[in-house]
């Protein structure tokens, strides 16, 4: 078997490889993620917008790129069974092409011969002739093993039996790192069967959620815009401001262009609604402070709710990073009594007790949005929690200090991991005799399946939202 090396010259008079553009674009996405840490969900839409590809081909690019990124661990495991060297030692451009080839063989209806031949052409076009024989041999072995096993991942990868090691089994067959599987199982009360459904939902293509921003647009008008634009849309089941699109580009909606509407997961909308709807003790004519406001979706929704008829509240949105602070300012443009301050939420420019409500949409691992960020499950490690949990705790303490007695704080993460959800809240609240934990499920009366309380946990497989976590805490009036 020939080694996979660096790009080299062609041998003989072989004509240049002809690679179809969808596969080439998918490969470019994988290379950008691997080589410079790009975010696929930001890069791919831009590439497709300028590609000139048909709707069908754009869908194929999306399937290949996102699918290969989500399944990277599985694909590498399958490739490891067909090569005499660790996948990590294969030249990266060749490795990404092999991942795309293996994904086509394992997860698509592309005929095996077409998947192998097109991938070999891709290797030839991007890495030269030298690794072609190697790539061809590896993919033919992969195709043979898939045919032998019927594509059964447990058999392909030698997964441990479910009865003996359910966590290890699920890690293999759902293409998640073991530590993420363990966290999901724990968050679901050790229900490994439901955990399988939750992990499988990370591979589903999510609907696009759009918000009709309160005070600027009503949902009926947004639905009418979608119909006029030829987009299939329906009301969100939980937020009165949510619209779910089954496909198409939300940028075709005039209200999204103007900022009266925006792409925002319905779970994110529910966090803002729960905070706004939870009563404070005493007259509520005060300030709401958002300590981690970027990129501005929840801040914009809160500003709209605060600006309703008869409302006299105001909003201070704090964001430490300049680029994200600019996004917050853009989201709040035109909102009355709403300001943006660039700074650290742990040292907000506000006197203790100066706010009626506080929002901590804490920086987190983002495990609740893995279906939207396909590479994230392999990028994140358990070590990330070591830095995030102290920051999350400090931000929650700062928010509690900022609200007046009788005030309310919402703590939210886009993650179900207990270490950055329930454990943070219980630890901080346990050290604060002036704080009580409210039942967050009561603040979301239209949503079922949130758990027993006092915390609310949304799930993609239950609610069709990101896996947002919400806790509500009150600063005691006495």
| SS3 of residue 280 by DSSP | coil
Q: Determine if residue 310 is left, alpha or beta; phi over 0 gives left, psi from -120 to 50 gives alpha, anything else beta.
A: left
Chain Cα centroid distance, residue 303: 24
The answer to whether 289 and 359 have CB atoms below 8 angstroms apart is yes
333-337: long-range pairs with CB below 8 Å, 24+: 333/259, 334/216, 334/259, 335/215, 335/300, 335/303, 335/304, 335/307, 336/307, 337/303, 337/306, 337/307, 337/313
Q: Which two tokens stand for residue 364?
A: 């987190």
The packing angle between helices 21-36 and 112-127, to 10°, is 60
| SS3 of residue 234 by DSSP | strand
H helices present in 38-152, as ranges: 40-49, 55-70, 72-80, 92-107, 112-127, 132-149
Q: How far is CA 40 from CA 29, 95, 370, 380, 464, in A?
A: 7, 18, 12, 15, 21
**Dist. CA 14–CA 16, nearest whole Å:** 7
Catalytic residues: 414
If you write DSSP's letter for every residue of 28-68 in order, what string do you get? HHHHHHHHH---HHHHHHHHHHTT---HHHHHHHHHHHHHH
Q: How far is CA 162 from CA 159, 175, 466, in A?
A: 8, 15, 27
Q: Which two tokens stand for residue 40?
A: 């696929």
**Dist. CA 117–CA 101, nearest whole Å:** 9
């Amino acid at each position: 078997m020939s080694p996979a090396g660096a790009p080299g010259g062609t041998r003989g008079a072989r004509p240049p490889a002809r690679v179809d553009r969808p596969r080439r674009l998918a490969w470019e996405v994988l290379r950008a993620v691997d080589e410079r840490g790009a975010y696929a969900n930001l890069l791919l839409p831009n590439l497709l917008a300028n590609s000139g590809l048909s709707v069908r081909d754009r869908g194929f690019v999306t399937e290949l790129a996102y699918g290969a990124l989500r399944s990277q661990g599985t694909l590498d495991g399958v490739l490891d069974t067909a090569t005499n060297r660790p996948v990590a030692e294969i030249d990266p451009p060749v490795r990404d092409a092999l991942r795309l080839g293996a994904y086509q063989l394992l997860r698509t209806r592309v005929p095996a011969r077409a998947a192998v031949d097109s991938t070999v052409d891709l290797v030839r076009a991007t890495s030269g002739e030298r690794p072609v024989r190697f790539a061809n041999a590896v993919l033919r072995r992969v195709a043979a093993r898939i045919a032998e096993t019927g594509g059964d991942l447990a058999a392909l990868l030698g997964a441990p039996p479910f009865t003996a090691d359910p966590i290890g089994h699920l890690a293999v067959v759902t293409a998640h790192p073991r530590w993420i599987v363990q966290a999901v199982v724990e968050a679901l009360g050790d229900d490994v069967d439901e955990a399988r459904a939750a992990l499988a939902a990370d591979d589903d293509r999510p609907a696009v959620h759009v918000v009709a921003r309160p005070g600027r647009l009503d949902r009926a008008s947004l639905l009418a815009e979608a119909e006029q634009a030829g987009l299939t849309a329906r009301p969100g089941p939980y937020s009165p401001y949510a619209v779910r699109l089954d496909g198409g580009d939300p940028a075709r909606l005039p209200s999204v262009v103007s900022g009266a509407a925006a792409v925002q997961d319905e779970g994110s909308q529910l966090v803002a609604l729960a905070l706004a709807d939870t009563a404070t003790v005493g007259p509520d004519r005060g300030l709401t402070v958002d300590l981690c406001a970027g990129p501005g979706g929840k801040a914009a929704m809160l500003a709209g709710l605060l600006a309703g008829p008869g409302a006299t509240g105001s909003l201070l949105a704090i964001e430490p990073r300049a680029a994200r602070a600019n996004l917050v300012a853009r989201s709040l443009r035109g909102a009355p009594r709403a300001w943006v301050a660039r700074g650290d939420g742990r040292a907000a420019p506000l006197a203790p007790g100066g706010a009626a409500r506080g929002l901590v949409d804490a920086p987190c691992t983002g495990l609740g949005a893995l279906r939207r960020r396909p590479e994230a499950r392999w990028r994140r490690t358990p070590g990330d929690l070591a830095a995030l949990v102290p920051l999350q705790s400090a931000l929650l303490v700062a928010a509690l200090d900022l609200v007046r007695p009788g005030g309310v704080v919402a703590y939210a993460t886009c993650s179900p991991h207990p270490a950055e959800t329930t454990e943070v809240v219980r630890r901080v609240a346990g050290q604060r005799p002036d704080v009580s934990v409210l039942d967050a499920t009561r603040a979301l009366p239209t949503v079922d399946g949130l758990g027993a309380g006092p915390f609310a946990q949304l799930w993609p497989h239950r609610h069709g939202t990101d896996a947002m976590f919400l806790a509500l805490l009150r600063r005691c009036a006495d």
